[in-house]
Chains A and B, each alone.
Chain A
Amino acid sequence: MNTTIWGFSRPQVVALLVMIALFVVAPMVVYPVFLMKVLCFALFACAFNLLIGYAGLLSFGHSAYFGMGCYLAAYGAKHWGLSAELCVLLGGSVAAVMGLVFGAIAIRRQGIYFSMITLALAQFTYFICTQMSFTGGEDGIQQVPRPAVLGLLPLDNDMAIYWMVVGVFLLGFFGIFRIIHSPFGQVLKAIRENEQRAISLGYRVEQYKLMAFVLSTFIAGAAGGMKSLVFGIATLSDVTWQASGTIVLTTLLGGLGTIFGPVVGAVIVNTLEFYLAPFGSWVTITQGVIFVACVMVFRRGVIGELGAKLKVAL
């Protein structure tokens, strides 16, 4: 158990290899565009999990950063003709700047008040998106082209963009993993466990929280940027509070504070949404039932429970 590779424990390495193997095999069986959507939301959920799972901050307005990432990347690709990686970076950077401002306001309060402030600021962002002309209001930014990576590698083929999405996802995933296992991440966990003690030990708790917030929003924005390139649209549905709620559900379902939990959660939630689409209103009903079942029966989420059974941290 003590041997680690880049901070990954042995079970985590096994899980990681299984995950990567699935990324390679899955597009032969499952529809690649659907897989890309899952990956975008998985990265978004990982970013959210960085805050709630490791810093104990429940941001109830994370869709604002994801959605803004969507809009900016779409706008960059459509109107400025930026290349794909710049679009994703632009989405992430703008979300991070927003995260810096919103985070600085929100971290002054704790617990439910923190959540409410993030929700309020996200609603504020939603309002801006309905009003500003660059977002296209109700219609969103439509028919966004898929620019080439570095202006060289075209992404018109679904498989080409799939590998780019896998790449960005793994980059984000490793990034988050390194953050969690760095000294910085250890301090975050200390703050989560006992904020008063962390303060008494001399840590500037607010700065750590703010940094975690900015990192999380950057990754969320990049995930959003990827999504808008995959689907060629950026719309209001990504900035709604319902989207924030879905990402909380995704993370809870997979397992709070586990590395792989948000990924599994994203697979489950998106699969339900996708394969239940022909049954109409059953999507929302099923999501509700699963959410209740999760809270009642397996509180640690799928991966959390699995890890507890196997006595390993996944």
Chain B
Amino acid sequence: MHINRRALLGTAAAAAATSLPLVRARAEAPSLKIGVLTDLSGPYKDLAGPQAIQAVYQALEDYGAAAKGLKVEVISADHQNKPDVGAGIARQWYDREGVDIIVEVANSGVALAVAGVAKEKNKVYINSGAATSDLTGANCNGNTIHWAYDTYMLAKSTGGALAKAGGDSWFFITADYAFGHALQRDTTGFIEASGGKVVGSIAYPFPGTTDFSSMLLQAQNSGAKVLGISNAGTDTINTIKQAKEFGITMTLAGLLLFISDVHALGLETAQGIVLTDSFYWDMNDRTRAFSARLQKKFPSGRPTMVDAGVYSSTLHWLKVAGDAGVPFMKGSGTEVVARLKAMPTDDDCFGQGIIRADGRKIHPSYLWKIKKPSESKGPWDYYAPVSFTPADQAFRPLAAGGCPLVKA
């Protein structure tokens, strides 16, 4: 075949012309990007971590993002429970990777740091994993939403609801640092408001305490009905294990305990503990359906309330993205968050809910008691319901948080 120069140039021009619209079409539908910043190596790995990442994919699937023509990418990273590492990643994601929203972020210190970055960069940040109620209190901002739970919800449900349900005299074992004391103080307030009383408490050095025997014996001798375990993570696990070994007969109240911790402890040890969760996989048909779907992606566990929060918040954000379009979602973070707050939420995990002006997601909280091994019918059948706090009372009243956004 004879090819002259003109023909060659002609084909080249034609090729260039045909490829142009393709390029433009791609530029017209830029993809959204979700960053899952979580603990992939430390103490919160099992309550969030890999399962939370799968929960994001589940939300994409359930929303049908691909079918609706919404291109969404998901990236994830390990914050190593270091606020500076977390803030560094968040900064880089917002600045360079084109991340539009960061979700999860267990660990209060990291969570607060990321909230600062989201505000500075005017992006969106929905936290599910952190406990601190400061995220919607003194440190709230117009770029941050706090989803699954917070310390106020835990203290009110475990303290208040348990005191009403008969656990009216308490003894606290408290980790001697700000978080432990805050948890004890808040819970005490609810116990007393419900007519209960705190007969005593003991603070132990944090971190590094592994032997809780003397404190447990003091607690037992105090005659209180309930032992409040005002600490977190491995300290909680150790306290519970040793309470079992010493045959403590009080009701144990875990103030920050997740189903993954219960699974790690085993029912034999954990039975009888009372705890608060805003989500339990076996709560109703919708939660069971959600858990069954997620289980296909992550067979080894069941979703915690953090995973549920990640799913629920991602789904809500996707719904708004579907309505508002990609350019809006890539624009001002405060406007996107205002739109997220304006729309009521509804999903399989938490049912119907709203997001308040201070960024607090509102839903009921539930008080659970861990089943005896004989009552458990199958794997992960751990919780039996005790009572619940309706959505409008579960969280701190809007005016009491001291959030600057609420003044107006």
Convert B135-163 into 0s and 1s, putting 1 for each residue whose CB lies closer than 8 angstroms to a CB of A: 00001000000000000000000000000
Q: Are A232 and B116 in contact (CB under 8 A)?
A: yes
Interface: A298 (CB within 8 A): no
Interface: A130 (CB within 8 A): yes
> Contacts of A136 on B, CB cut-off 8 Å?
178
Interface: A113 (CB within 8 A): no
User: In the complex, which residues 138-168 of chain A have their Cβ closer than 8 Å to any Cβ of chain B?
Assistant: 138-140, 142-143, 158
Q: Are A280 and B41 in contact (CB under 8 A)?
A: yes
> Contacts of A158 on B, CB cut-off 8 Å?
95
| Residues of A in contact, count (CB < 8 Å) | 33
Q: From known contacts A232-B116, A277-B78, infer whether A131 and B84 are also in contact, taking CB-CB under 8 Å.
A: no
How far is A127 from B209 in the complex, measured between Cα atoms in Å?
A: 13
Q: Are B109 and A236 in contact (CB under 8 A)?
A: yes
Residue of B nearest to A237 (CB): B82
Partner of B92, one of A33, A143, A227, A280: A33
Interface: A86 (CB within 8 A): no
| Residues of B in contact, count (CB < 8 Å) | 41
Q: Are A232 and B87 in contact (CB under 8 A)?
A: yes
Residue of B nearest to A278 (CB): B77
> Contacts of B109 on A, CB cut-off 8 Å?
138-140, 235-237
Interface: B251 (CB within 8 A): no
Q: Are B84 and A231 in contact (CB under 8 A)?
A: yes
Interface: B292 (CB within 8 A): no
Q: From known contacts A33-B92, A34-B92, A283-B80, infer whether A273 and B85 are also in contact, taking CB-CB under 8 Å.
A: yes
Residue of A nearest to B76 (CB): A278
Q: Are B87 and A231 in contact (CB under 8 A)?
A: yes
CB A129 to nearest CB in B, in angstroms, measures 10
Q: From known contacts A137-B177, A142-B116, A283-B78, infer whether A235 and B92 are also in contact, taking CB-CB under 8 Å.
A: no
Partner of B40, one of A130, A227, A273, A280: A280
Interface: B88 (CB within 8 A): yes
Interface: A194 (CB within 8 A): no
Most chain-A Cβ atoms within 10 A of its Cβ — which of B78, B81, B96, B176?
Answer: B78
How far is A133 from B178 in the complex, measured between Cα atoms in Å?
A: 8
Q: Are A277 and B85 in contact (CB under 8 A)?
A: yes
How far is A143 from B117 in the complex, measured between Cα atoms in Å?
A: 8
Interface: B91 (CB within 8 A): yes
Partner of B88, one of A37, A133, A280: A37
Interface: A31 (CB within 8 A): yes
Interface: A214 (CB within 8 A): no
How far is A31 from B117 in the complex, measured between Cα atoms in Å?
A: 16
CB B377 to nearest CB in A, in angstroms, measures 34
Residue of B nearest to A232 (CB): B116
How far is A280 from B42 in the complex, measured between Cα atoms in Å?
A: 9
Q: What are 23 pairs between A and B in contact, CB < 8 Å? A: A31-B92, A33-B91, A33-B95, A37-B88, A138-B179, A139-B112, A139-B132, A142-B83, A143-B115, A158-B95, A231-B84, A231-B87, A232-B87, A232-B117, A233-B87, A233-B113, A237-B84, A273-B85, A277-B77, A278-B75, A280-B45, A280-B49, A283-B78
A235-B113, A237-B84 provided; 11 other pairs, C-beta below 8 A?
A33-B95, A130-B178, A139-B112, A232-B120, A237-B82, A277-B77, A278-B75, A279-B40, A280-B41, A280-B45, A281-B78
Using a CB–CB distance below 8 Å, which chain B residues touch chain A? 40-41, 45, 49, 75-85, 87-89, 91-92, 95-96, 108-109, 112-113, 115-117, 119-120, 132, 134, 139, 176-179, 205-207
Q: Identify the 5 closest CB pairs spanning chains A and B, nearest first.
A: A137-B178, A280-B40, A281-B41, A143-B116, A237-B82
Using a CB–CB distance below 8 Å, which chain A residues touch chain B? 31, 33-34, 37, 127, 130-131, 133, 136-140, 142-143, 158, 227, 231-233, 235-238, 273-274, 277-281, 283-284
